[in-house]
Amino acid sequence: MNFDAIVENLPKYVDGLGVTLKLLALSLSCGLLLAVPLAVVRTISRGIASRLVWVYTYVFRGTPMLVQLFLCYYGLAQFDAVRDSVAWPWLSSATFCAWLTFTLNTAAYTTEIIAGSIRALPAGEIEAAKALGMGRGLMLRRVVLPAALRRALPAYGNEAIFMLHGTSLASVVTLLDLTGAAREVNSTYYLPFEAFITAGAFYFVLTLSLVGLFRWAENRWLKPMMSR
């Protein structure tokens, strides 16, 4: 084992860490913002809207994220209309496509997680809100969403960790995230063990931090409402 080259290239890994964290934070936050209204539509509406949300989550959860990423980054370039459009500067950028794909992907999974926890809400909580004369919007804002989002925390923690691991796919479309940095170091020095173990160690620490963060969040928001 020869870690001298790795130490020399540590700045590359740190830059990669920044890219990974930026992609993760942007796609998780935008995905969550998208997922909350979709989950409400999915559970409350009985018509075509709910069915459309189902098709969206089914397709995104049924296909690999790598294929989705390729469809966005390489696939869209096939159409002249896309290449001539005002969105092309964005759609031709690997960073934008990675962010878009990751966001749509995590939003699909998160929608199902939140919809599941809305459906699993104790009937009594909703009946109590109705008995107090709350309208639908007020009930959603004050009762249903706060309770459902807290209960979704454990499953959402797993999804966040899956997304962290999923961001490594960004390296396949030329982005220099943590994995991309490791691949570059490997191809320059031909040190696969050292290069990928270092990246793995970074990811491991990130995973443990996410686990810790979600444990803290569960203690803060979920535990107090659980029956003792």
Partner 1 sequence: MLLHGFLPSLLEGAAVTMGVALSSLLVAAVLGLAGALAKLSPSRVAQALAAIYTTLIRGVPDLVLMLLVFYGGQIGINTLAPMLGHEDYIDIDPFIAGVLTIGFIFGAYLTEAFRGAFLSVPPGQREAGLAYGMSPRQVLWRITLPQMLRHALPGLSNNWLVLIKSTAIVSVIGLSDVMTRGQQAAGTTREPFNFYLAVALIYLVFTSLSELAFSWANKRLAIGAKEAKL
Smallest separation (angstroms) from partner 1 to the CB of 196:
4
Q: Does 68 bind partner 1 (CB under 8 A)?
A: yes
Q: Is 74 in the site for partner 1 (CB under 8 A)?
A: yes
Contact 109, 92 (CB under 8 A): no
Alpha-carbon gap, residue 139 to 136, rounded angstroms: 5
Q: How far is the CB of 205 from partner 1 (least distance, A)?
A: 8
Does 196 participate in binding partner 1 (rule CB under 8 A)?
yes
Site string for partner 1, 20-59 (x = CB under 8 A): ---------------------------------------x
Q: Could you say whether residue 203 binds partner 1 (CB under 8 A)? A: yes
Contact residue for partner 1 among 66, 87, 120, 213 (CB under 8 A): 66
**Residue matched to tokens 């990675």:** 98
DSSP category for residue 226: S
What is the smallest separation between the CB atom of 214 and partner 1, expressed in angstroms?
14
C-alpha angle 226/227/228, rounded to 5°?
110
For partner 1, the closer of residues 145 and 172 by Cβ is 172
Q: How many other CB atoms are there within 10 angstroms of residue 80's CB atom? A: 8
Residue 45: CB atoms within 10 Å: 13
Residues 79-138 that bind partner 1 (CB under 8 A): 79
**How many residues does the structure list for the chain?**
228
Q: Using CB under 8 A, which of 76, 94, 217, 222 touches partner 1? A: 76
Q: What is the DSSP letter of 121?
A: S
Comparison of 93 and 186: residue with beta carbon closer to partner 1: 186
Number of residues that bind partner 1 (CB under 8 A): 40
Task: Pick one of 70, 88, 96, 221: the residue that binds partner 1 (CB under 8 A).
Answer: 70
Token pair 């509406």 is at which residue?
45
Angle of the 10-44 helix axis to the 153-166 helix axis, nearest 10: 140
Is there binding between residue 216 and partner 1 (CB under 8 A)?
no
Kindly state the tokens that stand for 20: 């990974």
Applying the rule CB under 8 A, the residues between 145 and 184 that interact with partner 1 are 161, 164-169, 171-172, 179, 182-183
- What whole-number distance in Å separates Cα of residue 179 and Cα of residue 14? 11
Helix, strand or coil, per DSSP, at residue 139: helix
CB 158 within 8 A of CB 218: no
Instruction: Give the interface with partner 1 as residue ranges (CB under 8 A).
Output: 59, 61-68, 70-71, 74-79, 161, 164-169, 171-172, 179, 182-183, 186, 192-193, 196-197, 199-200, 203-204, 207-208
